[in-house]
Amino acid sequence: MDGPPPVQRVPEERLAMKCQKCEKPATFHITELTDPAGPLELHLCEDCAKTYLTQGAVEEPGPAMIGGALGKQVQVGQTAEELARLDQKVCPVCGISYYEFRQAGRLGCPHDYICFEPELEPLIVSIHGQSKHSGKVPRRGAARTDRQTDLIRLRREMKEAVEREEYEKASQLRDQIRNIETEY
């Protein structure tokens, strides 16, 4: 099928390199990517490399994602009473409760970032390590979107009015929604 495989030339000093933990020749060349200390080079024989690599298995897992961050907030943050009060907080725009967000890990509308700001702030910092956006912004800049937020609220109120069979109120809301929708 094929001839002998192409054997790569290895620099002389690498061939002669001894394991940093014993006298055997180093055959594993490991570089730790730990930042910001800079890369750390390790040269080990097969046995020492195995020990070194399996030792790491007990280390801390990666940074907390949403579930972990939420869990931590609950542990560190509030007493059960405070948490119960917090859970009942409801967004006036989309109607989601903080409890529902905690359960699902997903927010209900853009306004949640404003109405749950004190609760979300520590969570966001624990996920991202900071709380201020840097980089691209929309062309219109950071212009306020209050009218759009109104639409979300009005549509929800209309749907609820229909469910309660308050048709007069629902039709008033419908007109309001149409007025905003035709604006842009």
Residues that bind another protein (CB under 8 A): 1-2, 5-8, 10, 27-35, 39, 50, 53, 56-57, 59, 61-63, 65-66, 93-96, 104-110, 112-114, 120, 123-124, 127-140, 142, 145, 147-149, 151-152, 155-156, 159, 184
Q: Which is nearer to another protein, 79 or 136 (CB)?
A: 136
Q: How far is the CB of 83 from another protein (least distance, A)?
A: 18
Residue 36 Cβ vs another protein, minimum distance, rounded to whole Å: 9
Residue 132 CB, shortest distance to another protein, in Å, is: 6
Residue number, 80 or 141, with CB nearest to another protein = 141
Task: Please say which residue, 108 or 161, places its beta carbon nearer to another protein.
Answer: 108
Between 55 and 79, CB nearer to another protein? 55
From the CB of 141, what's the least distance to another protein, in Å?
9
Residues 7-43, buried b or exposed e (16+ Cβ, 10 A)?
eeeeeeeeeebebebeeeebebeeeeeeeeeeeeebb
